[in-house]
Amino acid sequence: MRRPDLEAARAEALAALGRGAERTLERLELAGLVVVRRSDLPDSGARLRTLTDVELTIPEDWREPFALIVEAGSEVLDLHALKTAVPAIREAVHLGRIMGHRVDVEIDEAEGLVMRAWTVES
């Protein structure tokens, strides 16, 4: 992925926001946020794939880098979980195991990440 042009994005944001824009951008930066142009970001939908009725394997002491195994039929994938998806993945694993729910996941194959997981009652 090429690096976003943050200076150009900031200049465009200042022009688009108009009066008070500098203060708004300063507040965003204080919160740890950065303005980028969408055109500088990769097309996230192009490489996402949904797998249905999978088996997820996570260790008992699951922690960063949140490695997991996704088994979808005969396909076995060694992936990592997107950090923000960890709670939902953990919940899906437990609901699948305890309640017998079907587990579905969305993966980013290019990055080797499980982006999200959810269950469907069987």
Which tokens belong to 38?
């969408």
Rounded mean pLDDT, 1-26? 88
Sign of CA dihedral 73, 74, 75, 81: positive
**CATH 1.10.3470 correct for 44-120:** no
75-89: pLDDT as tens digits: 999 999 999 999 999
pTM summary value: 0.63
Residues linked to residue 78 through DSSP beta bridges, in sequence order: 69
Sorted by where each begins, the domain ranges of the chain are 6-40, 44-120
pLDDT tops 70 at residue 43: no
Rounded mean pLDDT, 14-30? 92
84: three-class secondary structure by DSSP: helix
- Dihedral of CA atoms 22, 24, 27, 32 in degrees, nearest 10, equals -100
Q: How confident is the model at residue 112 (pLDDT cuts 50, 70, 90)?
A: very high
